[in-house]
Amino acid sequence: MIESIRVVGAGGRVGSTVSARLAERGIRLDEDEPELVLLCVPDRAIAEVAAEIAPGPWVAHVSGATPLAALDPHARRVGMHPLLSFSKTRGPEQLDGGWAAVTAEGDDARAVGVWLAETLGLEPFELADSRRAAYHAGAAVASNYLVTLRQAAGSLLEVADVPPEALDSLMRGVIENGFELTGPIARGDWETVARHLHVIQRERPELEELYLALAEATAKIAGRELPSNSLLLGAEGRGTKVCRTIAELRGALADRRRGSIGLVPTMGSLHEGHLSLLRAARSECDTVVMSLFVNPTQFGDEDDLARYPRNEERDLELAREAGVDLVFAPTLEEMYPPGFQTWVEVTELGSILEGELRPGHFRGVATIVLKLFAIVRPARAYFGQKDAQQAEVIRRVIRDLALEVELRVLPIVRDADGLALSSRNALLSSEERERALVLSRALGTRDLQKARALLADSNGLVVDYVEVASFDPPVLAGAVRVGSTRLIDNVPLEGEPTP
Ligand code: AMP
């Protein structure tokens, strides 16, 4: 069909391979007036080189990304892109069995493109000029990113002191076996995937994001759902990080914001009540943040603050066991820097019951909780029904200030004898603890008059209040002082009774 071709760029990778094959096929390559000029030049040079060619011969380029318009002003033009990667160390045999995209605007041009491809030993297929971007993106993913994958995989083999070249026969095998998916994700073996993630985090943290993105895409192919990052890592017991500053916590949260964040605010001295909140957060959120801060502004009385039990080491151990990802244990100055003067006041709800007896208490609670919300930006925040009025105050803050936080309030956890668990229970002597039991018994009647009567009869207890509070749900709530320790408790009057 065509007997003479001038290859422009014959010294390059594609140009030299193509020239060698054309010579093998008996095509004349050195004529001054060839029938076809084949541009094997870099993409950005095509338009300039094409413009310099005198009209007459067919003009073709071998680029996958470049539209035919780059060959203006030539009307006899065609694109023929070998979908191959070329190496200068190999000869024309590297063309054998390859595919080639032919882009043509008419039958004559198509015939030239098909002829050229077949003469080179390629299998032609048609590519519309307008679909080049998708075609080329696919080609780049398959060829260039394979290099990226080999690099990433090789760097992991180096961690194991294994030569990266060992991967090559594996990679070839995957292609030769028709891209059949095998391995841990195909099997749903998440423990193995978790082990991969652990070593990557430790040795090659720069690969974590790539590994996760590929794992997610691979799970889709396998028809499985990849467990969330934290569940995966939890399978081997991930470390709990302790952050002392706001900046440190924000930094640690930065790459976790794609998933859901749960916040459990505590003042420490953890017991089963706190742990129930942590467990709920662990099962519902990708990342669990527990704050550990004895907030001075919610204590009215200095002695009470000084006496509040503290045991950070034990708390951190329990947080670790409960699968907490981040513990935020800030200093006083971090939460109340010098000059601090911004307060959140829930005016009515914050001044009844507990608020009446402890003026300023809920102002301290609402302020610190809002600050924690601003720092952590949780999807969900976990509170105990034990502090029913506190939960109600936070609900009000969330509503009034239109915060995007889901409030989760969990039932009261009690000891076998009915006493609601509280960090303050540690301050009771055994005799005081015995006397304190009347509070839960009285509230357990779910009857205001009976409860008041029972408490009036109990010797040595000072009753601060026993009231029905119209919270959500309504509760029978009470506060008593036993010796120098103040205890609060409540029983919901609607919905599930607290066991
Ligand atoms: P605290 O450390 O006392 O500020 O309590 C932290 C969170 O744990 C609060 O939301 C409390 O309501 C909750 N909490 C405390 N005691 C219990 C309990 N016995 N049962 C359920 N939640 C509790």
- Rounded Cα–Cα distance for residues 293 and 337 (Å): 15
Measured from the Cα of 422, ligand 1's closest atom is 16
Query: Ligand 1: does its nearest atom lie under 6 Å from the Cβ of 440?
Result: no
Ligand 1 centroid – CA 248 distance (Å): 26
Exposure b/e, 96-107, CB count within 10 A at least 16 = b: eebebbbbbeee
Query: Ligand 1: does its nearest atom lie under 6 Å from the Cβ of 362?
Result: no
Measured from the Cα of 385, ligand 1's closest atom is 12
- Residue 155, classified by CB atoms within 10 Å of its CB into exposed (0-12), middle (13-18) or buried (19+), is middle
The predicted pLDDT at position 190 comes to 87
> How many residues are there in the chain?
499
The predicted pLDDT at position 46 comes to 97
Ligand 1 centroid – CA 200 distance (Å): 37
Residue 249 Cα to chain centre, angstroms: 16
What is the dihedral sign for C-alpha 129, 132, 135, 136?
positive
The predicted pLDDT at position 207 comes to 95
The predicted pLDDT at position 234 comes to 56
Query: Ligand 1: does its nearest atom lie under 6 Å from the Cβ of 413?
Result: yes
Query: Ligand 1: does its nearest atom lie under 6 Å from the Cβ of 64?
Result: no
| Residue 81 annotated as catalytic | no
Ligand 1 centroid – CA 276 distance (Å): 9
Which residue of 263, 264, 266 sits with most ligand 1 atoms within 8 Å of its CB, as the best mutation to test the pocket?
266
Ligand 1 centroid – CA 389 distance (Å): 12
Ligand 1 centroid – CA 326 distance (Å): 19
The predicted pLDDT at position 236 comes to 41
Query: Ligand 1: does its nearest atom lie under 6 Å from the Cβ of 422?
Result: yes
Measured from the Cα of 267, ligand 1's closest atom is 2
Query: Ligand 1: does its nearest atom lie under 6 Å from the Cβ of 487?
Result: no
Instruction: Output the residue whose Cα is nearest ligand 1's atom 15.
Output: 273
Query: Ligand 1: does its nearest atom lie under 6 Å from the Cβ of 408?
Result: no
- Rounded Cα–Cα distance for residues 107 and 84 (Å): 25
Q: What is the pTM of this model?
A: 0.59
**How would you write the pLDDT of the chain (499 residues) with one tens digit per residue?**
899 999 999 999 999 999 999 999 999 998 899 999 999 999 999 999 999 999 999 999 999 999 999 999 999 999 999 999 998 889 999 999 999 999 999 999 999 999 999 999 999 999 999 999 999 999 999 999 999 999 999 999 999 999 999 999 999 999 999 999 999 999 999 888 988 988 888 789 899 999 999 999 999 999 998 887 666 765 344 578 889 999 999 999 998 898 899 999 999 999 999 999 999 999 999 999 999 999 999 999 999 999 999 999 899 989 988 989 999 999 999 999 999 999 999 999 999 999 999 999 999 999 999 999 999 999 999 999 999 999 999 999 999 999 999 999 999 999 999 999 999 999 999 999 999 999 999 999 999 999 999 999 887 899 999 999 999 999 999 999 999 999 999 999 987 544 3
Please compute, for residue 81, the number of CA atoms within 13 A of its CA located in the half-sphere on the CB side: 21
End-to-end CA distance of the chain: 92
Which among 61, 74, 81, 274 is annotated as catalytic?
274
- Rounded Cα–Cα distance for residues 142 and 430 (Å): 72
